[in-house]
Chain A
């Protein structure tokens, strides 16, 4: 059984640029959620994708967007990067809608915006 994987591991971007982060869900899981974890804080829910559609969203602006593909892998896109976007981005996969099943987290992508 393959766990949740994310790429890249680390990324450095300049303010105003755009970034795409990728996540492959655990085998058999059809739901992917994305979280942002600032240094010293708990993760914050960005959004969730279920069967290729956004199924819920946290308090994040529209410049945070995502996709889920037929194989249930997912992308997180952030446009017009700001310094405060520097964080660890975690994706989590689950079988069925989050809240009905345990979420398994990937290793994360550390994004630094300068």
Chain B
């Protein structure tokens, strides 16, 4: 059974600081996704990481994937209040059949304080 673990689950940080969210998964996969969810809203796609060593950046967020370590990170640089949200990583088995859907972590609830 594929398991996806995120840490931390809750994070309160000040504006201007840097921090990293970690996503570990238990079986081989080379497809990992990061989503953002605002309270009461749906999931917004942030990054799609499709190969070992993939690194993608958008604004103050940067995501990376190490398939050998089964680890992805989401790094926040110089945080601003607008980044407050819940962040999910999700993994699929990469079998191409889609039969298992995406397996999500429990999410990291991020609060950025002025």
Contact = CB atoms under 8 A, between A and B. Distances in A.
A56 B97 contact: yes
A107 B41 CA distance: 6
A72 B90 CA distance: 24
B106 interface: yes
A44 B101 CA distance: 9
B95 interface: yes
Interface stretch (A11-19, A61-69, A77-85, A94-102): A94-102
Interface residues of B, number: 28
B78 to A, nearest CB: 27
Interface in B69-114: 88, 90, 92-107
Given A99-B95, A99-B96, A45 B101 contact: yes
B48 to A, nearest CB: 5
The range of chain A's interface size is 20 to 34
Contacts of A43: 43, 88, 90, 102, 104
Contact of B97 (A35, A55, A102, A108): A55
Given A90-B42, A97-B96, A105-B42, A35 B107 contact: no
A108 B100 contact: no
A58 B100 contact: yes
A41 B106 contact: yes
Contacts of A42: 4, 88, 90, 104-107
A57 B101 CA distance: 8
B33 A102 contact: yes
Closest 5 CB pairs of A and B: A45-B101, A56-B99, A42-B104, A98-B98, A97-B98
Interface of A: 31, 33, 35, 41-48, 50, 55-58, 90, 92, 97-100, 102-108
14 contacts: A31-B98, A33-B98, A33-B101, A42-B107, A45-B103, A56-B97, A56-B100, A57-B99, A90-B42, A98-B101, A103-B102, A105-B42, A105-B43, A107-B41
